[in-house]
Amino acid sequence: MKSLIVEDDQISSQVLEKMISRYGSSDVAADGQKALDLFRQALESGRPYDLVFMDIMIPEIDGLQTVLAMRQLETSRALSLSQRVKVIMTSALDDPRTIMKALYESDASSYLVKPIRMQAVEAELRALKLVS
């Protein structure tokens, strides 16, 4: 599994990277523009990401807008729903409005509230059928 972790807090990105390291490789971006650049490069190389962990509040382009831009890139390449990257939004915000906005407006696959626990990550990976 190839993953992209988009997180501006270095410790949080390292923790996530360690959590999913047994499932495959990860790239890390600290802002939305870098994430889009990496995402575009992965698509162009024919080795797209299987999973993106996206923090909502990141510099340059916020997480919601970054996911929307990723979805537009996928649409421009005529990727089917099954070919699209799975996106797990991450945030310390756990209010229903923010969660609904992340899931429905940005078309994320799921949402995890920080601090993120390994059990929650594994449950999401199974739910998204990325691991068995």
Task: Tell me if 54 sits within 8 A of 90, measured CB to CB.
Answer: yes
Per-residue pLDDT, averaged over 102-108, amounts to: 77
* Cα–Cα distance for residue pair 115/75, rounded to 1 Å: 32
**SS3 for 56-85, per residue?**
CCCCCCCHHHHHHHHHHHHHHCCCCHHHCC
Picking from 49, 1, 54, 9, the residue whose alpha carbon sits closest to that of residue 32 is 54
pLDDT of the residue at 132: 84
Q: Rounded to two decimals, what is the model's pTM? A: 0.92
Domain residues of the chain, as ranges?
A: 2-127
Contact at 8 Å (CB) between 114 and 93? no
Note the pLDDT of residue 76.
93
Q: Amino acid identity of 44?
A: E
The string of pLDDT tens digits covering residues 19-75 is: 999 999 999 999 999 999 999 999 999 999 999 999 988 998 999 999 999 999 999
pLDDT of res. 104: 73
Work out the number of other CB atoms within 10 angstroms of the CB of residue 116. Answer: 18
Token pair 């509230």 is found at 113
More confident residue, 2 or 101: 2
Assign 96 a pLDDT band (cuts: 50, 70, 90).
Answer: confident
Contact 71, 30 (CB under 8 A): no
Rounded Cα distance, 66 and 61, in Å: 6
Q: Which CATH class is domain 2-127?
A: alpha beta
